[in-house]
Chain A
Amino acid sequence: MRNILAVAGVVLRCWSRRKEGYILVLILAAVQYAVASMHVLSAGGASLYLYDVGLLLTWFLGWIVAIHVGASELPGEESRGTIFLLLAKPLSRAELIVGKWLGAWATVVICTLAFHVVSLLSALAVGVQPPLPALAEMCLLHLVSLAVLTAMALAVSTRLNRDAAVSLTVTAALAIYLIVPKIPKLVHYAAGWRTGMLEVLYYALPHLDLFDLRRRVLHGYGPVSGSVLVTLVAYGAVWAGVLLLIAWMAYRRRHFQRDRMLE
């Protein structure tokens, strides 16, 4: 556990000193300011819609940060050559993977909470008062979904360079988010082995859409029950665990050659 926390601490410290997160918060604040300005220009009826846009941005900026940070850590160690310093220490590869994930997720949590704060302040500025219990649940499940995405990006980056890992994870995450919930409808149009394949995909892939409670917040449906919330958090934790296990299996026998890494 000591080693995991040491690795996670360095990941968090390094990202906190980089500019990317701060720039994204500023961009979001600028967009939200534009939203508030539109309200001033007597577009008052559109304020809920504009808050929806703000939440959507917050949701996907969280994704961008999670995928970027998750996919950058291991390839970054390799391109710098610091992987040799790490693996020459009494640090197992499992500890390295979990430490990297924990540090990356902690970075993502801080960034995403900042996005939500900016989004909430903007909502209050345009006169929208989101229900706080539902908002808290939405934030929690957003962070859980980001834990899954961070683990996914990390797993992909064990075998690919950073750019390839980011591209592949973004494509996979969008496909999962948009297509998996539609599989039950697609099954009606499929026949034979395709039906079975779609059903396997439906159960084998994570359901990122389950973590998206933006509609409940926007339309004031109220919070989900405690048991549902706990089940969803557990579901996310299991998926993050499975992806970290895949990452470890891909990484544990990985060999490193300095010359090939520099190419």
Chain B
Amino acid sequence: MAISFDGLGVRFRSRQNEVVALDNLSVAVPAGRIFGFLGPNGAGKTTAIHVLLGFQQATSGSAAVFGCDVREPIARQRIGYLPEHPDVYRFLSGREMLRFAGKLCGLSGSALEQRTRAVLQEVDLTEAADRRIATYSRGMRQRICLAQALIHDPDLLILDEPTGGLDPIGRLLIRRIISDWRSRGKTVFFSSHELSEVELVCDRVCILARGRVVAQGVPHELAAPGERLEQFFMRVVADDAAASKGGR
């Protein structure tokens, strides 16, 4: 398995109450697949990714990437990560940013230069490569962040809302990169609100609501005949909200 969440639970304590961010989340992502991680705002998607990458601690259960605990730095060698709302070092140029990311991933010399050129071309930033990132548009920043995730040719790409802030051309670029990744047998795990994008590229999806899995499977098998993934998503999330109110 590329990713496995096993009974993952995350709870936050505030002064008045306890917030359950993730409740017994169990998901397995096979290697070589494009996996969509869906859910309304506050469903726990980013929290699950943060626990997976070791940014946050789980209250219960465990998460692993290729069977390894990602808190070990060496295990992160196989992962490329694009965070939600990414930002970068504005005083660096795009090329310097990628060289830095590449060095951290163990690249050097001609291999680093070659990968930097290739990735800049892949995200269509070759012409802006030597400009300071401070002068980049929001979409360009998103793409340079994606480029730093791709620099070491990882086996697993984790994308948190990758199309947020991108124009249609940028979205098409992301879709093309994901398809390219699939054709090379790599794994892509991405969370998104763009259900039409998910429907187009994903082999499997998992829908979260209030920190729990409410549906999981192949997109066209989950939805009823003639039903779009978006309609299915709205239905299961509404059912879950109704069940939650009924349970109170």
Contact = CB atoms under 8 A, between A and B. Distances in A.
Interface stretch (A88-96, A220-228, A239-247): A88-96
A182 interface: no
B148 A85 contact: yes
A52 B93 CA distance: 42
B contact face: mostly helix, strand, loop, or mixed: mixed
B86 A88 contact: no
Nearest to A91: B104
A85 B103 contact: no
A150 B44 CA distance: 38
A179 interface: no
Contacts of B56: 255-257
Given A85-B101, A256-B56, A10 B85 contact: no
Contacts, number: 87
A contact face: mostly helix, strand, loop, or mixed: helix
Interface in B215-246: none
Given A3-B103, A90-B105, A257-B50, A10 B92 contact: yes
A82 B84 CA distance: 11
Interface of B: 46, 50, 53-57, 73-77, 79-81, 83-89, 91-92, 96, 100-101, 103-106, 108, 132, 145, 148-149, 158
Interface string A248-263: 0000010111100000
Nearest to A2: B103
Contact of A84 (B77, B79, B81, B108): B81
Interface of A: 2-3, 6-7, 9-10, 13-14, 17-18, 80-82, 84-92, 253, 255-258
Given A90-B74, A258-B46, A6 B103 contact: yes
Nearest to A262: B85
A50 to B, nearest CB: 37
A6 B89 contact: no
B199 to A, nearest CB: 27
Contact of A13 (B74, B96, B145): B96
